[in-house]
Amino acid sequence: SLKAPYFRTVFPRIRVAEPGRAVVRIGDWWGVRNHIGTFHVIAALNGAEAAMGMLCESTVPTSHRWLPRGMRADYPTKSTGGLTVTATADFPDFSTITRETGGQLVTLDIALIDDAGNEPVHAEIDVWISAKKS
């Protein structure tokens, strides 16, 4: 939240941050509710971005950088509880991504599960990974 202040709006709590997996908890409070009293999808996607950032920070080596390139989201049902956000991805062999070969697009899978066990939001975030300048 210090690097990206807008994350403060959902108060993400990091549960797991390890290579290949990140889990973030977003509690239920009035600031994440919409006008009909359900969890606002943009607040949920803010949590998805927080989990994406934690996953990339814990997986991508310091020799490389990552930049979000796009997001797709589906929200098939309403939620009134807090969310547990889990980001996972199959990352490439980073040694194959060099300045000469360019970058590689990696799609992260983001599952958002509410306190009732439902998945009110599911997202995919595309991340561009490239080698840093030496």
Q: What is the pLDDT of residues 15-57, one digit of tens each?
A: 999 999 999 999 998 888 889 988 899 999 999 999 999 999 9
CATH topology of domain 5-131: Thiol Ester Dehydrase; Chain A (3.10.129)
pLDDT score of 134 more than 80: no
Distance CA 109, CA 119 (A): 13
| Pair 126, 52: CB distance under 8 Å | no
pLDDT tens for each residue of 85-126: 999 999 999 999 999 989 999 999 999 999 999 999 999 999
Sign of CA dihedral 33, 34, 37, 43: negative
The residue behind tokens 């066990």 is: 117
